[in-house]
Structure 1
Amino acid sequence: MRTIIVGSRQSALAMTQTGQTIDRMKEACAAAGLDYRFEVKPIVTRGDRILDVTLSKVGGKGLFVKEIEQALLEGEIDCAIHSMKDMPFDLPEGLTIGAVPKREDPRDVLISLHSYTLRNLPQGAKVGTSSLRRGAQLKAKRPDLRIESLRGNIDTRLKKLETEGFDAILLAAAGMRRMGWGDRITAFIEPEDCLPAVGQGALAIECRENDSEVMAMLALLNDPKTERAVRAERRFLGLLNGGCQVPIGAYAEAESGEEQSTVRLTAMVASPDGATVLRTEAAGTDPLEVGSRAARELLARGAGRILDEARE
């Protein structure tokens, strides 16, 4: 019986979603008559070590996956479970995303001690987020709000809500639900008000391209509908060369997992101060073409200049 070594960040959320995914792997393997053991290897990433600086200033998305991908390349682990929104567009040679399980709620949420929503937050309220994407879209809706940096694991951020004078903080619904803390959510923020990060709510299970046994096992967990939607979002991200340094959001929905089903994408690029927010929509049966069309549209409307200025 082969033991599958699964790599994961060691934060509480990462370990929880890894455990939940392994449970689904076991169920899928049992149904397919496959016999595997699973073992988790926690790995500390650079993003986990740097907690006092915003992600946009220390390198962005790859901070949460680089060490894990190195362990994959060196054969220390057989697969890794990531939050899809942490995944850079370009993967190291020899690695691939072997499965995209069914997506959790992709929305952002507002958490407050006073039952505030985005619309009834007091004038000049102090709102915490580590995301330029969230901050820019929030400023566009509510220029009066004071957006302040909030880093740390999900439980650390919830504690800071109580101890550092925030009127509200913004987090991803998926993380709160996976931790079993859905009852602490004050308000859901719809994509019309704040487009989520590319891949938000989805997981990526990464493995080596040449490990056909693990690839076949992971295929049992793949959700074609989620995979098609995420493919459009990631194509958009890749063509804009985006990361945590720039405010980019995208959310796609696929009508089904069938290759000819329609994928609808809404995408956004904003200036960090929220003064300019460019949005577009695209639809079609080819997720890559849909993502490409959205990227071309926003680049034609000046997204490139906004991204260059944000990176500077």
Structure 2
Amino acid sequence: MTGRVLRPEGPQPAAPGLIRLGTRRSRLAVAQSTQVAQEIAKATGADVALVTVTTEGDISRTPLSQLGGTGVFVSALREALLAGDCDIAVHSLKDLPTAPCPGISLGAVPLRADPRDAWCARDGMTLAEMPPGSRVGTGSPRRAAQILSRRPDLVIEDIRGNVDTRLARVGVDLDAVILAAAGLERVDRTEAITERFALDVAPSAPGQGALAIEVRSEDLDEVLLSRALQALDHAETRSAAAAERELLAALEAGCAAPVGATASVADGWLALRATVYQADGQSQLESVMGVAWNGSSDSEGIARNLGNKVARDLLERGAAQLADLGPRGERS
């Protein structure tokens, strides 16, 4: 029997046969958390209640590159999890700090959605068709550098806000915005996409398109939660994410760093492509490596080793100086 997905008002007390799922309040976060809740309810037969939490990243209008790193979208959810206000928490994996969090474990990484960046422009134009001087909105230094590397004649504007807010500015005070294709798919706004950037041209943020399901470490073996996590976890996506995140950690870079990385598993091979950009996009370093992958118990360790190896290659070739990387990159 499939359980129900509940959206109660206010905190929900723990109860037998109920899994409380913590999520941010944004439309996108609730949409992707609802999808996770539906999968859990189907796999376990348990009722799943969404517990919404407001994070610093949701209420601050400060540019993300200045706000303090990836943890601005994560910390409040983790606090709710540790306080027992929810049983699991759903994050966009690209928002998750690479440093471990005491008392919390990464319980599952579901099958990844489209990891590409989406170009959303007025009049259905592609990047190549944009007139010189067109104004492009993004809050990502990586996306800004990638656009400037291909079209240095465009003007980058820093923007914040949810998906609908950003799209509403296209054709008003902006000519285009760049968003994650996965996010647009999850909120049914794919009609706004005029181009999806190829990953070999514009590698995405580490973890983009994937979700992270966190759980209290002490609850990993709890029967109902264990069944839910096993149903959600996707081995290939988990290994790809591990490679990308280890690269980010080894580079000592956070969300403010212009770093793109995309890993994938195919035909028993895990490949990782990573690019570090100069902020103005006029210079970049790329590294591509791979390793045999068979889904064994040590696959995640193999993936992390690959990420570390690619990072060392980039650092040896001057990536830290090129992109001003260092200990202040990961602030959370």
Alignment TM-score > 0.5, same fold: yes
Secondary structure in structure 1 of the residue aligned to 2:276: strand
Match of residue 252 from structure 1: 263
Paired AA for residue 56 in structure 2:
R
Count of residues in Structure 1 that have an aligned counterpart in Structure 2:
301
Please tell me whether residue 262 in structure 1 is matched to residue 272 in structure 2. Answer: no
Compare 206-215 and 170-179 and name the one that shifted more: 206-215
Paired AA for residue 6 in structure 1:
L
Q: Distance in 1 between matches of 2:211 and 2:325?
A: 31
Secondary structure in structure 2 of the residue aligned to 1:233: helix
1:8 deviates by 0.5
Q: Which stretches of structure 1, 4 residues or more, deviate above 2 A after TM superposition? A: 306-312
Q: How big is each residue's C-alpha offset from its partner over 1:127-169, in whole Å with a ceiling of 9 and x where there is no partner?
A: 0001001001111111111011111111111112243x21111
Secondary structure in structure 2 of the residue aligned to 1:137: helix
Q: Distance in 1 between matches of 2:160 and 2:20?
A: 29
- The one of 34, 50, 58 aligned to 1:40: 50
Q: Distance in 2 between matches of 1:19 and 1:288?
A: 30
Q: How big is each residue's C-alpha offset from its partner over 1:173-212, in whole Å with a ceiling of 9 and x where there is no partner?
A: 0000111111221111111221100010000011111102
Distance 1:205 1:309, change over 3 A: closer
Asked if the contact 1:103/1:201 (under 8 Å) is kept, the reply is: yes
Please tell me whether residue 107 in structure 1 is matched to residue 150 in structure 2. Answer: no
Secondary structure in structure 2 of the residue aligned to 1:119: helix
Q: Runs of 5+ in structure 1 lacking a partner?
A: 30-34
Secondary structure in structure 1 of the residue aligned to 2:161: coil
Match of residue 2 from structure 1: 17
Q: How big is each residue's C-alpha offset from its partner over 1:71-106, in whole Å with a ceiling of 9 and x where there is no partner?
A: 111111110111111111013111111111111000
Match of residue 183 from structure 1: 191
Q: Runs of 5+ in structure 2 lacking a partner?
A: 1-15, 293-301
Match of residue 32 from structure 1: none
Please tell me whether residue 167 in structure 1 is matched to residue 175 in structure 2. Answer: yes
Asked if the contact 1:116/1:186 (under 8 Å) is kept, the reply is: yes
Please tell me whether residue 206 in structure 1 is matched to residue 221 in structure 2. Answer: no
Q: How big is each residue's C-alpha offset from its partner over 1:29-62, in whole Å with a ceiling of 9 and x where there is no partner?
A: 2xxxxx42211111010001112x2111110211
Q: Distance in 2 between matches of 1:147 and 1:176?
A: 21
Asked if the contact 2:252/2:325 (under 8 Å) is kept, the reply is: no
The equivalences for 1:103-252 within 5 A come to 103-163=112-172, 165-211=173-219, 212-213=221-222, 214-252=225-263
Report the aligned-residue RMSD: 1.5
The equivalences for 1:43-58 within 5 A come to 43-51=53-61, 53-58=62-67
Secondary structure in structure 2 of the residue aligned to 1:41: strand
Q: How big is each residue's C-alpha offset from its partner over 1:209-238, in whole Å with a ceiling of 9 and x where there is no partner?
A: 110222342121111111111111111011
Paired AA for residue 244 in structure 1:
C
Please tell me whether residue 86 in structure 1 is matched to residue 95 in structure 2. Answer: yes
Q: Distance in 1 between matches of 2:249 and 2:46?
A: 35
Q: Distance in 1 between matches of 2:285 and 2:307?
A: 15
Q: Distance in 2 between matches of 1:304 and 1:246?
A: 10
- The one of 36, 39, 42 aligned to 1:24: 39
Match of residue 299 from structure 2: none
Secondary structure in structure 2 of the residue aligned to 1:161: coil
Q: Distance in 1 between matches of 2:234 and 2:90?
A: 15
Asked if the contact 2:135/2:156 (under 8 Å) is kept, the reply is: yes
Secondary structure in structure 1 of the residue aligned to 2:273: strand
